[in-house]
Amino acid sequence: MDYQLEVIVLPVADVDRAKEFYRRIGFREDLDYIDGQDFRVVHFTPPGSHCSIVVGKGIGTAAPGSAENVHLIVRDIEEARADLVGRGIEVSEIFHDADGVFHHAGNEKRVPGVYPGRLSYGSFASFSDPDGNGFLLQEVTERFPGR
């Protein structure tokens, strides 16, 4: 049985502001459905992704900006960071974790620069949408077996 992750719902306060942001970073808008004053679904897909995001109104109860560590996987972290910065997005400097491949919560274990030897899964950069939903770019150049 396959279980494919298809959509992540991101809580936002202002749907139009979120819509402008996700368009600006290059996500494809797949749907903007409105049903009255209290229901709206806006569906976006990042370039090259099989998983999408949804923002809207009346689609969840989480507080706006409460999503953390939504990973966007990229083949070249430096190129991806430069692309977002070129689109006017504030992106952290590239970092890796002091203790290993995956990052710790917060900033205390962040070491500046790419992971030594550019090991796949080891380099990150962070940014947030206008509501504070947190994203991480993660460089993956070679997948672990079975992926």
pLDDT surpasses 90 at 111: yes
Four-CA torsion 93, 96, 98, 99, nearest 10 degrees = 160
Instruction: Give the CA distances from residue 16 to residues 12, 34, 36, 127, in Å, rounded to whole numbers and listed in that order.
Output: 10, 12, 16, 19
What kind of architecture, by CATH, is found in domain 7-139?
Roll (3.10)
Residue 67, helix vs strand vs coil: coil
Q: Check residue 147 and give its pLDDT.
A: 66
Domain ranges of the chain: 7-139
How much of the chain exceeds pLDDT 70, in percent? 99
Q: What is the mean pLDDT of residues 113-141?
A: 95
- 3-48, pLDDT tens digit by residue? 999 999 999 999 999 999 999 999 999 999 999 999 999 999 999 9
Which helix (DSSP H) or strand (DSSP E) does residue 83 occupy?
helix 77-86
Angle formed at CA 16 by CA 15 and CA 21, multiple of 5 degrees: 95
